Amino acid sequence: MGFAPDTVRLFDSPAWHVYNTCHVQCSTINAARHTGLFPMKKACLALLLLSVFLFACTPDIPQLPPAEVISRAGDAMLAAPSFHFKIDLSGAPVILNKLTQLSLRSAEGDFSRPDKMGVHLKVIAAVAAAELDMIALGNEQYLTNVLTKKWEVLPPEFGFNPAVMFDPKMGLEQLLKGGLDNPHWIGVETMDGKNIWHLQGSIDGARVQGMSGGLISNGPVDVDLWIEPNTFMPRQAVIVDKNSNPDKPTTWTLTFSSYGKDVNITAPTLQ
């Protein structure tokens, strides 16, 4: 006999697992009490009360199709005039330039629509780690020199412009609007003390090529998304590039905050 969808969700919810665990522990305690190994009679009741409390307080997964939630997150992000972002990379290195073997480790900055970005980059060169600042104003891009720290026009061989990640035609927002393969709910979690929706899916690597400037491989990538319930704003995205390295795949962790804040990004003074 099959179960109704709501019943299946109940049996698969975190609260049900807590209740089931407590029930097993209660049975164990009860058996131990009868054999004289565990005299604490109130422990079973305490565990059951705890499970009931957690069950009552655990938020339910909303009755929304995951594909709809992800698409609405793309619309919400695209409508935001600005936001703060942070990109952390782990696993196999992301090479920005094969000739210089410059690899990207992290990036943090502000993005203002349609195409303004100020970002601080942490990179690893052939001999040592370095930190750079970058400004993108449409097709105009500037970068601080690793040695002199002075602003220069971005050299073509640098190989990466973070602004393309949020391009209205090919950026993350459009990827979300276009949807993920096999989208599904993971659950309701807590981030910064607030409830957050966690969803998961995958996406063909070819669709991610434009967003990443060719830094993500063509194979399918796994995607985890954390989305704010009331606004549908994405708060975090984790992209695992499985084809980058079978043993240690490159993982992109993108974190977003301060949607709609005032951002003033102007061209730097060249010396």
Burial grade of 219 (CB within 10 A; 0-12, 13-18, 19 or more):
middle
Q: Would you state the pLDDT for residue 120?
A: 93
Residue 156 CA, chain-centre distance (Å), reads 29
Q: Would you state the pLDDT for residue 93?
A: 92
| pTM of the predicted model as reported, rounded to 2 decimal places | 0.78
The contacts of residue 104 (CB under 8 Å, 6+ apart) are 89, 94, 96, 121, 122, 123, 160, 215
pLDDT averages per 10-residue partition of the chain, 271 residues: 41 46 48 51 54 53 92 97 96 83 91 93 82 90 90 76 86 94 96 96 89 88 96 97 93 97 93 77
CA nearest 203: which of 226, 234, 181, 171? 181
Long-range Cβ contacts of 22-30 (<8 Å, 24+ apart): 22/47, 22/48, 22/50, 22/51, 23/48, 23/51
Q: Would you state the pLDDT for residue 134?
A: 93
Q: Residue 148 in 3-state DSSP?
A: coil
Give the whole-angstrom CA distance, residue 80 versus residue 146: 33
Q: Would you state the pLDDT for residue 198?
A: 98
What are φ and ψ of residue 237, in 5° steps? -135, 130
Q: Would you state the pLDDT for residue 8?
A: 38
